[in-house]
Structure 1
Amino acid sequence: MPLLMALKATDNSSNNQEGCNPLKEDRLISRDLKIWIEQFERDLTRAQMMEVSLQEKYQSFKHCRVQYEVKRKQVELAIQSVRKDGKLSLDQALVKQAWDRVSSRLFEWHLQLDKSLPAPLGSIGAWLFRAEAALQEEIIFHQAHEETANMIHRKLEQHKDVLKNLDGYKKTFQEIHRTQSVNGVPVPPEQLDDMAERFNFVASTSELHLLKMEFLELRYRLLSLLVLAESKLKSWIIKYGRRESVELLFQNYISVIENNKFFEKYEVTYQILKKSAEMYAKANGSPEEIEAVVRFMNETTTQWRHLSVEVRSVRSMLQEVIANWDRYSSTVASLQAWLEDAEKMLNQPEHAKKDFFRHLPHWIQQHTAMNDAGNFLIETCDETISRDLKQQLLLLNGRWRELFMQVKQYARADELDRMKKDYLDGVAVLSAFTDEANRKFSVPLEVSFLNVKMFVQEMQASFFSFSRNFILEDVGN
Structure 2
Amino acid sequence: MEFQKASLRTGSSRCTDTVEQEQIQKRTFTNWINAQLSKRKPPSVVLDLFTDLQDGMRLLDLLEVMSGQSMRRERGHGVFQHRGNIETALNFLRSKSVKLVNINIPDLIEGRPSIVLGLIWTIILHCHIEELASTLSFGSRQSSLESLASLDSLPSSTCSSPVLGGSPVPRGRSSPLHARFRLSAKKALLLWVRDQCHKVGCSISVKDFKSSWRSGLAFLAILCSLRPDLVDLRLALRRSSLHNLEEAFRLAEQELHIPRLLEPEDIDVSDPDEKSIMTYVAQFLQYSNDTPSPDDDLQLPAAPSPTCLSPLNLPSYFTPAVTASPLHQASPSQKAREMACWLQRAYQELEEVWSSTAGAGYAERYQAFQAFVSSFYEQRRPVIPVLSAIKRSPTASREQIALRLAWSTLEQKLQQYNTELDVCLPAPLDTLGRWLQRVEAVLSEEGGAAKDHSHAAREAREKQEQLKVLVQDMGRHLNTLHVFSNASANEATWVPPDKLDELRRRFTNARVTAKYYGIKLEYREQRHTVYELLGQLNAKLKAWKGPYSSQDSVRFLLQDWHETVDKQCLVSLLKAAVHKLKQTASTYTSKAALADDAQMVSRQVKEVEGEVFTSAERVMAVRGTMGRVLAAWESYRDCLFSMQVWLGQQTDSTEATHSTGKEDSLREWSGLHAHLNEVGNYLIESTDASTSYGLADELCKVNMQWADLVKRTRFAMAPTGPSVPACAQAAQALVEEAGWLAREPVEVSSGALRTYRKRLQVMLKKITEVDLEVLAQSPDCSTETLEDLKLTLPKVHAACELVQRAASLLEGRLAELGHWGTEVSEALDTLREWERRGNPGLRPRVKTQISRGLQLEGQVVTADQELQAAVSSTQQRSRLPYLSTSGLQDRVREAVAQSKVWDTKCSPLFPTQPMNQWCSPGMHS
**TM-score, length basis structure 1:** 0.70
Q: CA–CA distance in 2 between the matches of 1:151 and 1:358?
A: 75
| Contact 2:574/2:612 (8 A) holds in 1 | no
**2:621 pairs with 1:313:** yes
CA distance in 2, matches of 1:73, 1:294: 40
- Rounded Cα–Cα distance in structure 2 between residues aligned with 1:364 and 1:244: 29
Structure 1, residues 167-197: CA drift from partner, whole Å, max 9, x if none?
Answer: 2212321333xx5458988432221111111
Cα deviation for residue 40 of structure 1 reads 1.8
**Equivalent in 368, 371, 374 of residue 63 of structure 1:** 371
Instruction: Say which of 174, 180, 184 aligns to 2:482.
Output: 174
Distance 2:379 2:576 in 1: 50
Shift of 1:245: 4.6
What are the within-5 Å matches in structure 2 for residues 210-221 of structure 1?
A: 210-221=518-529
Whether 2:701 is the aligned partner of 1:370: answer no
Most deviating of 131-140 and 4-13:
4-13
The alignment status of 1:151 with 2:151, answered yes or no, reads no
Which one of the candidate residues 602, 611, 633 is aligned to 1:303?
611
Structure 1 residue 41 and structure 2 residue 41: aligned?
Answer: no
| Distance in 2 of aligned mates of 1:82 and 1:263 | 50
CA distance in 1, matches of 2:532, 2:381: 38
Q: 1:285 to 1:331 in 2, by over 3 A?
A: same
Residue 591 of structure 2 aligns with which residue? 283
Matching residue's letter, 1:327? S
1 CA distance for matches of 2:656 and 2:517?
A: 91
Match of 1:336 among 644, 650, 662: 644
Instruction: Quote the offset at 1:252 in angstroms.
Output: 5.4
Q: Indicate conservation of the 8 Å contact 2:650/2:656, yes or no.
A: no
Tell me the distance in 1 between the aligned counterparts of 2:402 and 2:657. 104
Distance 1:225 1:56, change over 3 A: same
Task: Tell me what 2:699 maps to.
Answer: 393
Distance 2:562 2:376 in 1: 61
**1:426 alignment counterpart:** none
Contact 2:516/2:594 (<8 A) preserved: no
Alpha-carbon offset, residue 251 of structure 1 = 5.3
Matched, 1:198 2:506: yes
Query: Does structure 2 retain, via aligned residues, the 8 Å contact 1:30–1:92?
Result: yes
Cα gap change, 1:225 to 1:92, in 2 (>3 Å):
farther
Alignment of 1:305-454 (within 5 A): 305-345=613-653, 347=655, 363=669, 366-383=672-689, 385-400=691-706, 403=709, 406=713
Residues 441-471 of structure 1: per-residue CA shift (max 9 Å, x gap): xxxxxxxxxxxxxxxxxxxxxxxxxxxxxxx
Runs of 4+ in structure 1 over 6 Å off: 1-7, 182-185, 356-362
Q: How far apart, CA to CA, are the structure 2 residues paired with 1:93 and 1:99?
A: 10
Tell me which residue corresponds to 2:209.
none
Single out whichever of 379-388 and 278-287 deviates more from structure 2.
Answer: 379-388
Runs of 5+ unmatched residues, structure 1: 16-20, 408-477
Which residue number in structure 2 is paired with residue 11 of structure 1?
Answer: 325
Task: Please tell me the root mean square deviation across aligned C-alpha atoms, in Å.
Answer: 3.8
Q: Highest Rg: 1 or 2?
A: 1
Alpha-carbon offset, residue 370 of structure 1: 1.6
What percentage of aligned pairs have identical amino acids?
24
Aligned to 2:572: 264
**CA positional deviation for 1:52:** 4.3
Q: What amino acid sits opposite 1:29 in the alignment? A: K
State the one-letter code of the partner of 1:34. Answer: A
Q: Give the deviation of 1:325 after TM superposition.
A: 1.8
- Give the number of equivalent residue pairs: 395
Which string of whole-angstrom CA distances, capped at 9 and with x for unpartnered residues, describes residues 344-391 of structure 1? 4561599x986x999888755543432221121133234554454344
Q: Secondary structure at the match of 1:200?
A: helix
Task: Supply the distance in 2 between the matched residues of 1:94 and 1:254 (Cα, whole angstroms).
Answer: 62
Amino acid at match of 1:135: L
After alignment, is 101-110 or 207-216 more displaced?
101-110
Cα deviation digits, residues 238-283 of structure 1 (max 9, x gap) = 4443334545554555565555432122122212222221222223
Aligned partner letter, 1:158: Q
In 1, Cα distance between equivalents of 2:402 and 2:471: 37
Q: What code does the residue aligned with 2:528 have? A: Y
Q: Output the TM-score relative to the length of structure 2.
A: 0.38
Q: Could you say what secondary structure the match of 1:12 adopts? A: coil
Distance 1:157 1:311, change over 3 A: same
Distance (whole Å) between structure 2 residues aligned to residue 72 and residue 256 of structure 1: 61
Q: In the superposition, relative to structure 1, how do residues 238 and 155 fare at CA in structure 2: closer, same or farther (>3 Å)?
A: same
Distance 1:78 1:61 in 2: 26
Q: Which has the higher contact order (CA 8 A, sep 6+)?
A: 1
Distance 2:379 2:525 in 1: 36
Query: Would you say the 8 A contact 2:680–2:695 is kept in 1?
Result: yes
1:207 paired residue among 495, 501, 515 = 515
Work out which of the residue numbers 12, 30, 48 in structure 1 matches 2:336: 30
2:464 aligned partner, one-letter code: L
Q: 1:88 & 1:262 partners in 2: Cα distance?
A: 51
In structure 2, distance between residues paired with 1:313 and 1:70: 68
Which whole-Å CA distance do the structure 1 matches of 2:663 and 2:488 have between them? Answer: 111
SS at match of 2:448: coil
Q: 2:422 aligns with which of 111, 114, 122?
A: 114
CA gap 1:283/1:29 in 2 versus in 1, 3 angstroms: farther
Shift of 1:205: 0.4
Q: Secondary structure at the match of 1:117?
A: coil
Question: For residue 292 of structure 1, what is the aligned residue in structure 2?
Answer: 600
In terms of fraction of residues, the more helix-rich structure is 1
CA distance in 1, matches of 2:629, 2:379: 69
| Counterpart residue identity of residue 10, structure 1 | A
Contact 1:339–1:400 (CA under 8 A) maintained in structure 2: yes
Match of 1:463 in 2: none
Q: Aligned equivalents of 1:249 and 1:397: distance in 2? A: 31
Q: Say yes or no: does 1:138 pair with 2:446.
A: yes
**Contact 1:79–1:88, Cα closer than 8 Å, also in 2:** no
In structure 2, the CA distance between the partners of 1:349 and 1:150, relative to structure 1 (3 Å rule), is closer
Q: Is the 8 A contact 1:80 1:88 kept in 2?
A: no
Q: What secondary structure does 2:614 align onto?
A: helix
Does the residue aligned with 2:449 lie in a helix, a strand or coil?
A: coil
Q: 1:155 and 1:404, CA in 2 relative to 1: closer, same or farther beyond 3 A?
A: same
C-alpha change, 1:30 and 1:14, in structure 2 (3 Å) is closer
Alpha-carbon distance in 2 for matches of 1:87, 1:256: 52
SS where residue 108 of structure 1 aligns? helix
Give the drift of 1:309.
0.8
- What is the aligned partner in structure 2 of residue 243 from structure 1? 551
* 170 and 182 in structure 1: CA distance in 2 versus 1, 3 angstrom threshold: farther
User: Using a 3 Å threshold, how does the CA distance of structure 1 residues 353 and 165 change in structure 2: closer, same or farther?
Assistant: farther
Alpha-carbon separation, structure 2, partners of 1:134 and 1:274:
25
Contact 1:116/1:122 (<8 A) preserved: yes
Rounded Cα–Cα distance in structure 2 between residues aligned with 1:174 and 1:270: 45
Structure 2 letter corresponding to 1:376 = Y
Closer, same or farther: CA 215–89 of 1 in aligned 2, 3 Å? farther
State the Cα distance separating 1:161 from its structure 2 match. Answer: 2.7
Aligned residue type for 2:529: R
Check 1:348–1:335 CA distance in 2 against 1; reply closer, same or farther (3 A cut).
Answer: closer
Is the CA contact (8 Å cut-off) linking 2:337 and 2:402 kept in structure 1?
Answer: no
| Residue 411 of structure 2 corresponds to residue 103 of structure 1 | yes
